[in-house]
């Protein structure tokens, strides 16, 4: 029992590092939140959205996926999608680094627990279950929703930001109304600031 407690304490200390990993590392924006804050927000969204929308998914499994999906960032930090878009990091390099990091983060745990957490993370990465696709869509929506708080005048990479969640939501269309609500508010903000609204931003407003 004492050995198990020491192991869990070591793992808990490792998890605590997520509080000090800050997201949107490749942007010029002053707005940054921690990966831990993002994970909490995502998990609470996953719980409430599933209940309020009566989604036919395994909620417990979805919550587990939400909680583990960004654990590699304890080691790698936030490898922002803009770094990949700009060719500074390849998709293959990002995937390899995160895979190695995931094994490192969970190495404190028993073999059975390591296997469970790694498989949940892999399921998220591959998007090969309804729960994984749900969390992947919500992950993008959590980040995209923060755009409302910052406002479009603070955007860099505007075209990327405005279509950031589209593909993931297409893979879990039950969340299209939420994406539409976020974009409708942003469209109004664009108009008030005199910023052009491009046709490519419209999904799912015109879907």
3-state secondary structure of 159: helix
CA–CA separation, 192 vs 9, rounded Å? 51
Residue 34: strand pairing partners: 22
Structural domains for the chain = 2-201 (1.10.3210.10)
Candidates 143, 139, 205; CA nearest to 172 is 139
3-state secondary structure of 205: coil
> Per-10-residue mean pLDDT for the chain, 207 residues long?
83 96 64 88 98 98 98 92 81 93 96 97 97 98 90 87 96 98 96 96 91
pTM of the model: 0.92
């Amino acid at each position: 029992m004492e050995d198990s407690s020491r192991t869990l304490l070591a793992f808990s200390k490792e998890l605590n590092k997520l509080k000090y990993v800050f997201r949107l590392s490749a942007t010029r924006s002053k707005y940054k939140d921690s990966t831990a804050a993002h994970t909490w927000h995502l998990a609470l969204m996953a719980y409430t959205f599933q209940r309020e929308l009566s989604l036919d998914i395994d909620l417990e499994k979805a919550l587990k996926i939400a909680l583990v999906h960004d654990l590699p960032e304890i080691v790698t930090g936030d490898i922002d999608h803009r770094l990949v878009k700009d060719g500074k990091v390849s998709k293959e390099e990002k995937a390899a680094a995160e895979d190695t990091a995931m094994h490192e983060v969970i190495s404190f745990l028993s073999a059975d627990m390591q296997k469970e957490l790694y498989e949940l993370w892999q399921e998220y990465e591959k998007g090969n279950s309804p729960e994984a696709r749900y969390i992947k869509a919500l992950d993008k929506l959590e980040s995209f929703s923060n755009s409302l708080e910052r406002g479009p005048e603070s955007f860099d990479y505007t075209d990327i930001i405005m279509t950031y969640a589209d593909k993931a939501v297409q893979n879990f269309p039950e969340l299209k109304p939420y994406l539409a609500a976020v974009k409708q508010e942003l469209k109004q903000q664009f108009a008030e600031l005199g910023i052009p609204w491009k046709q490519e931003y419209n999904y799912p407003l015109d879907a």
